[in-house]
Amino acid sequence: MLKLFLPNEQVKSVLEIDPERLKQKGIKAIITDLDNTLVAWDRPDATPELLHWFQEIRDAGIKVLIVSNNNQKRVSSFSTPLDLPFIFEARKPMGRAFRKAIKLLGVKKHETVVIGDQLLTDVFGGNRSGIHTILVIPIAATDGFWTQINRKIERQLMAFFERKGMIQWEERTK
């Protein structure tokens, strides 16, 4: 059961995820979280670096869909200017949003990765859905109320995984 909280990969930032490497692995789509994965939870729009990464992803022929537990206004205001499809109020880690994302993207699970900053929502939900997961270090040192609660549990899981040699992780926030 605990292995469902263990990501398949971990990186410091989405910007370290190479689209050509994903393509070589047969990846055709990315399901990504928004807040503290792509941008800080209180930042309204994409950074220039993120815009460049999105362009590289598109150039590689990889589709992207944002799946967020946040509300429609927040997710739409970020995604619409970038012409990115999205699912809001996703209720991650529940599998419904992941299944819907796979269907909207028109891909198979093994052709997809889930990228996110939380073990309890993104990684657990992606793993339960049978999708390859990539954990990123949260962009901001602060979180919303419910995420703060998740982070306390997450820190215990990370410490357990580190003690068992299952994961190596550096400081999570700046």
Q: Which domains does the chain have, with CATH numbers?
A: 2-163 (3.40.50.1000)
Name, in order, each residue with C-beta under 8 angstroms of 78's C-beta and a sequence gap of 6 or more: 34, 38, 39, 44, 45, 46, 66
Name, in order, each residue with C-beta under 8 angstroms of 92's C-beta and a sequence gap of 6 or more: 33, 67, 69, 98, 121, 122, 125
According to DSSP, residue 8 is labeled S
CA distance 162 to 99: 31
CA distance 156 to 105: 34
Is residue 166 over pLDDT 70?
yes
Q: How confident is the model at residue 172 (pLDDT cuts 50, 70, 90)?
A: very low
In this prediction the pTM is: 0.90
Candidates 41, 40, 9; CA nearest to 115 is 9
CA distance 80 to 138: 23
Q: What is the pLDDT of residues 104-143, one digit of tens each?
A: 999 999 999 999 999 999 999 999 999 999 999 999 776 6
